[in-house]
Structure 1
């Protein structure tokens, strides 16, 4: 096995690893693959054996099945930080683990891009039961969408044509000022998304009277779309 550094940037390293396939204990074709890890991870040493898959009719089409959980967690952090920055949140201020407890790093990489994820600051979005309560009893007010980041809904979780986004909101407070919160809103039609799904849109909301950071869109006060 031979290792050649390919790239060293942004806390990662990519090595080209050259070795010989072993098929049923017999040496077969020599192949080269690339491996991306965290910069602090030592490259594999000559003589290291790792599991691989190959196509019998095309022996150079090889998949080497090792994983670097540290690297995958690093990628999850980059995706979470990208989502935070899109909402105007400085990633350096985030303290929550980008791989939530009980979540595999590989799943966390995907999680941050869809509507099953936490908000980028690590808090849970308002889900159905809580939203129903806030819509009934919450304080009616207005907010301005300061930033918006659209997500990829999980299959089967939204009606056709609907979309979901994380939003940064400047909410009108009772004292006449405003305050910033993160939330997740759904837009039930493309027309509704075009109407209010953009920075600068002023929208009606309801705020939990017990926790002013819990905010829902008050669609009953929106014009038909």
Structure 2
């Protein structure tokens, strides 16, 4: 009988101790001070309009703005934008979306529906070659490194990157060119078996 009451008392002591510890930790978290740094157009993003933000595998922050691409290393911003001397580079500084692929490259979708790949090591924009007029609407990066560029007309470009030199191979999919049975591609998904699935307005492939 005595053992029973000892066990009960021990149980309540443990419960009280848990509540006390949780209360102390909560108060400590509330009283913890944080350092907040404000970046204005003078020491941060010049244009002030940020459309997208991502953090890459190295911990660096990237900003898609209407004044090009910005990289932030925790201390300073660096701006990458169009250069008239670089004929094959970025032609539009108004960026809408950015996403990092498996190889650390940053894919950029511009306001005029063009798309580029930014190589952080070389610090250059590489244009995505396509057969028709630029009309990209979204970028889908898959875990295996494959990138799908979806177009406004329902077609798509599948980009395969070579790991050794990061060169790109392009494959075009469109019902008009008989590379897709029918339908317009709306989204792309990869399952656990690394199979790629295309969702169209007329079915799944």
Q: TM-score, structure 2 length as denominator?
A: 0.32
Q: In proportion to residue count, which structure has more helix?
A: 1
Q: TM-score, structure 1 length as denominator?
A: 0.30
Q: Tell me which of the two structures has the higher relative contact order, counting C-alpha pairs closer than 8 angstroms and 6 or more residues apart.
A: 1
Greater Rg over alpha carbons, structure? 2
